[in-house]
């Protein structure tokens, strides 16, 4: 019933051209702890075109196609400690383990922080994720076929 109400709310926003991010729908997507392809599908359905995750501030910012944004805090205990050195090989290992379903999202975040990832941006329409280190190092991963 809750899912139906959230879907109806999102649909009405589209019908009446209301330019707002449905925070409830974002939270529903996040709560389900879905695999990455399903998260992308869920966010696309509610008009999110990209999102930015800051592992130092522990915040995630969602951006809609209508130039709206929504920021949420990421609660993790203990807080992540981002390594100073960017280790691309460790990052790629973590990405692959996540893609194979061997680790959950919480473990993925811990692993990429140890690999020196300070933030990442997911470009849904561009089908890629840009991971950035503390000193400007960047690794770009194209989505696997979703």
For tokens 């990832």, the residue is 117
Asked if residues 85 and 100 have their Cβ atoms less than 8 Å apart, the reply is no
Taking the CA atoms of residue 94, residue 98, residue 99 and residue 105 in that order, the dihedral angle to the nearest 10 degrees is -130
pLDDT of residue 17: 42
d(CA 106, CA 50) in angstroms, rounded, equals 20
Task: Note the residue count of the chain.
Answer: 146
Tell which wins on pLDDT, 85 or 20: 85
d(CA 37, CA 35) in angstroms, rounded, equals 6
CATH topology for the 2-142 domain: YdfO-like fold (3.30.1810)
pLDDT of residue 133: 98
pTM across the whole model: 0.80
Asked if the model's pLDDT at residue 75 lies above 50, the reply is yes
Rounded to the nearest 5 degrees, what angle is found at the Cα of 60, between the Cα atoms of 58 and 66?
160
Asked if the model's pLDDT at residue 77 lies above 90, the reply is no
What tokens does 24 get?
A: 């409830």
């Amino acid at each position: 019933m809750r899912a139906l109400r959230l879907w109806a709310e999102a649909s009405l926003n589209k019908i009446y051209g209301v330019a707002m991010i449905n925070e409830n729908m974002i939270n529903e997507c996040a709560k389900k702890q879905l695999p990455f392809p399903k998260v992308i599908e869920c966010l696309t359905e509610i008009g999110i075109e990209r999102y930015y995750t800051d592992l130092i501030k522990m915040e995630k910012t969602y951006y809609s196609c209508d130039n709206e944004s929504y920021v949420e805090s990421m609660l993790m205990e203990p807080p992540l400690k981002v390594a100073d050195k960017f280790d691309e090989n460790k990052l790629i290992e973590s990405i692959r383990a996540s893609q194979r379903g061997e680790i959950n999202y919480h473990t993925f975040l811990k692993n990429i922080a140890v690999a020196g990832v300070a933030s990442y941006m997911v470009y849904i329409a561009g089908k890629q994720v840009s991971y950035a280190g503390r000193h400007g190092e960047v690794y770009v991963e194209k989505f696997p076929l979703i």
